[in-house]
A and B are shown apart, each in its own frame.
Chain A
Amino acid sequence: MWFKKKVKAKPEEKLKLPDGLWTKCETCGEILYRKELEKNLWICPKCNFHFRINCHNYISLLLDNATLDEQDKNLESLDPLGFPNYKKKLKAAKEKTNMNEGVVYGFAKIDGIPIVFAAMDFAFIGGSMGSVIGEKIARAIRAAQKKEIPLIILSASGGARMQEGILSLMQMAKTSAELAILAQKRIPYISILTHPTTAGVMASYASLGDIIITEPGALLGFTGARVAEQTIGEKFPPGLQRSESLLAHGMVDLVVSRKDLRNTLIKIMNIICKREKLPAK
């Protein structure tokens, strides 16, 4: 991660599911009736923009009986660098999200097929990955290795967490190493990218799925547009880092509407998990 400027207060404020009756779409500006929007899974009926939803929403949306048998819920971040204001920031994030950190993982089923499922939550310090997120993702992968069941990780993150310095960077290596072992065991890994997934998370486990699925219009990439402009004076053309552009450039397999996400997962899981046995030699 270079800069993380996009992940600042303003867009987050906008995406806090508002209390009022009406919500403005951040892409097309349409004023939408909140109840209708909720029924529409927080997808703008006008422009198909997928509003950010939290990890619990995804659990309800994707998993059988809306149930995750959550593991290692108690892991908590420390402040190993003594970084300015980090402790305060953690406390505020915990209060805001009612979570200990920006990812949940555990055991679940999709169409009866047992899986390990992990979902990040952007509301917790921009989904930034420090030691705890790295460790929980690593443990999720290890659980899939051990039980020999497929892994699904849903990402939403601005990248590595600056406040834990080099320790955050190393979580990229840690999670990728675990995925290498998972691949050796020939266990499927599906990566779902949601808005936004960038920098250190995009440049590690998020990009390593056997199958990569994204929601429409999600911002996905390595560098933030503003950073590119500030550091090398290059202006990103509009849409460069959106799901559809990544699909066109061969970087993801599928762009799937939130409404079809569970069904798509069910189809894929049934094809790759319930197959004919190949003859032993």
Chain B
Amino acid sequence: MNGIWLDFERPIVELKKKIEELKGLKGVEDEIERLETQVEKLEKRIYSNLSRWQRVQLARHPRRPYSLDILNIITEDFIEMHGDRRFGDDPAIVAGITKLDKYSVAIVAQQKGRDTKAKIKRNFGMPHPEGYRKAIRIMEMAAKFNIPIITLVDTPGAYPGVGAEERGQSEAIATNLFKCAILPVPIIVLIIGEGGSGGALAIAVGDRILMLENAIYSVISPEGCASILWRDASKNKEAAEALKITAQDLSKFNIIDEVVPEPIGGAHMDFELTAKNIKKALLRNLKELLKIPVDELVSLRIKKFQNMGVYKE
């Protein structure tokens, strides 16, 4: 049991507690069995009817697997590269090269920190311009060596501070969108937690866009939207509903290509199973993309983004 529970999980936790209590007693095996089926049913009901805000809570769960947790399980010999060769190295983005089974790949991933120290080091997963510039440097290197690119997206947003503004946060993001559109190698994007606006998109232009089942991807945070719309940041639940930010929503809008399943209760319940599902999805997409000639791949990628948008003519 992981000890951190969300408000909507309380009925499950209470039933499980009851079972634990009974386990010390004799002659209650039938009762335990009955309760366990009940738990199973309850879990199924709760987790298959999650509201958008509940998914936000899961996407931001403090125990959720972060990029390096996943990479440690699915890759071998990840060699991390550092720095943008301009200003510095941004630990909110990790980038490097590795093997995924027999396939050489480049990795660009946003990284959050687990404890306070790590959170500060990783700047809560909010990259500075130098992070985005490191990302594109590694992606261009990968393209030069004909190595496919996998990106893992998990950020509340690009860092909104003075230094970021001074060093061109806008330019850094824009340049990544511009360059990734035509990089001549396969790019697979996987949103594993929070896809926070332009800060996420800066490493999310690719041939396939995948999302974990409880990940979110949005133009603005529910809190930000609520404070504009209702002048009240606490209306985040309503904002999450209005913004339609879940993997299931984005699938309907044809923005993403695939929803990668999570263990029941969320990715944090079982890192190994989550990583296994991710690896399977990445490899399948990689194999498909590697069959497409590069020129065609790039024109399909451009067409993919050209088709995004809903309007009347």
Chain A residues with CB under 8 Å of chain B are: 1-5, 8, 72, 74-78, 80-81, 83-84, 131-132, 134-135, 138, 160-162, 164-174, 176-181, 183-184, 199-200, 202-208, 220-223, 227-228, 230-232, 234, 236-237, 240-241, 245, 249-251
- Which of B173, B178, B221, B244 has most A Cβ within 10 Å? B178
Q: Is the CB of A173 within 8 A of B201?
A: yes
Give bound CA distance, A90 to B218, whole Å.
21
Give bound CA distance, A167 to B301, whole Å.
16
Q: Which residues of A contact B4 (CB under 8 A)?
A: none
Q: Provide the B93-123 mask, 1 if CB < 8 A to any CB of A, else 0.
A: 0000000000000000000000000000000
Q: Which residues of B contact A174 (CB under 8 A)?
A: 305-306, 308-309
Q: Say which residue of B224, B243, B249 sits within 8 Å of A2 (CB atoms).
A: B224
A-B contact count (CB 8 A): 213
Is B242 an interface residue when CB atoms closer than 8 A count as contact?
Answer: yes
Distance in Å from the Cβ of B191 to the closest Cβ of chain A? 11
Give bound CA distance, A8 to B306, whole Å.
30
Is B312 an interface residue when CB atoms closer than 8 A count as contact?
Answer: yes
CB closest residue in chain B, given A5: B228
Q: Is the CB of B169 within 8 A of A222?
A: yes
SS class, residues of chain A in contact with chain B: helix
Q: Is the CB of A177 within 8 A of B173?
A: no
Q: Is the CB of B177 within 8 A of A75?
A: no
- Which of B177, B182, B221 has most A Cβ within 10 Å? B177
Give bound CA distance, A254 to B80, whole Å.
39
- Which of B162, B204, B220, B242 has most A Cβ within 10 Å? B220
Q: Which residues of B contact A232 (CB under 8 A)?
A: 159-161
Q: Is the CB of A222 within 8 A of B253?
A: no
Q: Is the CB of A2 within 8 A of B220?
A: yes
Given A5-B228, A78-B312, A177-B301, 18 more A-B residue pairs with CB atoms under 8 Å apart are A3-B228, A131-B311, A134-B309, A160-B197, A165-B244, A165-B245, A173-B181, A177-B305, A183-B178, A184-B182, A200-B219, A206-B170, A221-B169, A222-B164, A222-B170, A227-B160, A234-B161, A236-B162
Distance in Å from the Cβ of B195 to the closest Cβ of chain A? 9
Is B212 an interface residue when CB atoms closer than 8 A count as contact?
Answer: no
Distance in Å from the Cβ of B92 to the closest Cβ of chain A? 13
Q: Is the CB of B198 within 8 A of A199?
A: yes
Distance in Å from the Cβ of A105 to the closest Cβ of chain B? 14
Distance in Å from the Cβ of A205 to the closest Cβ of chain B? 7
Is B70 an interface residue when CB atoms closer than 8 A count as contact?
Answer: no
Distance in Å from the Cβ of B271 to the closest Cβ of chain A? 28
Is B250 an interface residue when CB atoms closer than 8 A count as contact?
Answer: yes
Q: Is the CB of B305 within 8 A of A170?
A: yes
Is B285 an interface residue when CB atoms closer than 8 A count as contact?
Answer: no
Q: Is the CB of B178 within 8 A of A203?
A: no
On whether A180 and B166 interact (CB within 8 A), knowing A74-B313, A160-B219, A170-B255, the answer reads: no
Is B205 an interface residue when CB atoms closer than 8 A count as contact?
Answer: yes
Give bound CA distance, A232 to B165, whole Å.
14
Give bound CA distance, A199 to B198, whole Å.
8
Q: Is the CB of A1 within 8 A of B181?
A: no
Q: How many residues of B contact A (CB 8 A)?
A: 56
Q: Which residues of A contact B158 (CB under 8 A)?
A: 203, 222-223
Is B171 an interface residue when CB atoms closer than 8 A count as contact?
Answer: yes
Q: Is the CB of A165 within 8 A of B305?
A: no
Q: Is the CB of B182 within 8 A of A180?
A: yes
Q: Which residues of A contact B81 (CB under 8 A)?
A: none
Q: Is the CB of A227 within 8 A of B219?
A: no
CB closest residue in chain B, given A249: B166
Q: Say which residue of B243, B301, B309 sits within 8 Å of A171 (CB atoms).
A: B309
Give bound CA distance, A42 to B305, whole Å.
39
Q: Is the CB of B171 within 8 A of A207?
A: yes
Interface members, chain B 170-222 (any A CB < 8 Å): 170-171, 173-175, 177-179, 181-182, 197-198, 201-202, 204-205, 217-221
CB closest residue in chain B, given A197: B170
Is B167 an interface residue when CB atoms closer than 8 A count as contact?
Answer: yes
Give bound CA distance, A204 to B174, whole Å.
4
On whether A207 and B174 interact (CB within 8 A), knowing A170-B305, A170-B308, A174-B309, the answer reads: yes
Q: 22 A-B contacts, Cβ less than 8 Å apart?
A: A1-B220, A3-B224, A83-B243, A160-B219, A162-B229, A165-B218, A167-B253, A170-B201, A171-B308, A172-B177, A172-B201, A173-B181, A180-B181, A181-B302, A199-B198, A200-B197, A200-B219, A204-B174, A208-B174, A228-B161, A232-B161, A234-B162
Q: Is the CB of B170 within 8 A of A203?
A: yes
Distance in Å from the Cβ of B188 to the closest Cβ of chain A? 15
Q: Which residues of A contact B166 (CB under 8 A)?
A: 240, 245, 249
Q: Say which residue of A3, A80, A169 sits within 8 Å of B198 (CB atoms).
A: A169
Q: Say which residue of A84, A135, A231, A250 sits within 8 Å of B160 (CB atoms).
A: A231
Give bound CA distance, A80 to B313, whole Å.
14
Q: Which residues of B contact A74 (CB under 8 A)?
A: 313
On whether A176 and B310 interact (CB within 8 A), knowing A84-B242, A227-B224, A228-B160, the answer reads: no
On whether A78 and B160 interact (CB within 8 A), knowing A249-B166, A251-B171, the answer reads: no
Q: Say which residue of B165, B175, B181, B201 sits within 8 Å of A240 (CB atoms).
A: B165
Distance in Å from the Cβ of B306 to the closest Cβ of chain A? 6
